[in-house]
Amino acid sequence: MWLAQDDPKKNTAVLASKRGNLTLHKSIRSIPKRGIILEPLCGKVFGPEDHELLLERGGALVGLDCSWAHIESSVESVMDRTRLQPRMLPLLLAANPVNWGKPGRLTTAEALATVLYLVGRKKQSREVLGAFRWGERFFELNQEPLDAYAAARSSAELVDLQFEFFDIERQDLEGVE
């Protein structure tokens, strides 16, 4: 779901859609009705329990593409109007030039590539980031956590794994399941 809040010449969702790696939806009415929407404020991490919806039940993967500066109002405006299941990502380091090295500050393309990786679609994951000169760097920065997250057997295990890779306190993730 593209909210057109960033420069389209630098926007990863716009660039990946031009390559044919994803479909850009400019209207809430055009997004799929069933699936997962990546939304970083929801408090529920995308985990193994969600894989079936995407892989076996034909659910769609939707990224909410908006500016980090407007994240709260953007999430509110979209989530009130969709039945997609909101999920956030486990912590990873951004490789994009704007937020390089910042935990959790991923672009839409990085976020979508993460979920594809976690559900076992590693080649497709790399294709999504293939348009960006920093795309492969994302996988280099995050290889260990990505592999561990992909092997997790539950969302709870996945949430716990974050403490092995990132210097965070448990209270920082309070309310995240």
Q: Which domain holds residue 138?
A: 12-173
Question: What is the count of structural domains for the chain?
Answer: 1
Q: Are 85 and 35 spatial neighbours (Cβ–Cβ below 8 Å)?
A: yes
162 found inside a domain: yes
Per-residue pLDDT of the chain (177 residues; tens, 9 = 90+): 444 445 555 556 556 555 656 666 566 676 677 788 888 777 889 999 998 887 777 778 877 676 666 666 666 666 667 777 889 899 999 998 888 998 988 888 899 899 999 999 999 899 888 888 899 999 999 999 999 999 999 999 999 998 888 876 555 555 555
72 found inside a domain: yes
23 found inside a domain: yes
pTM, rounded to two decimals: 0.79
Q: What is the rounded distance in angstroms from the CA atom of residue 61 to the CA atom of residue 98?
A: 24
3 found inside a domain: no
7 found inside a domain: no
Question: Which two three-digit tokens encode residue 44?
Answer: 């529920």
Sheet containing 85-87, strands listed edge to edge, beginning at the edge strand earlier in sequence: 60-63, 35-38, 85-87
Q: Where are the alpha helices (DSSP H) in the chain?
A: 12-18, 48-55, 71-79, 108-118, 122-129, 135-151, 155-165
169 found inside a domain: yes
1 found inside a domain: no
120 found inside a domain: yes
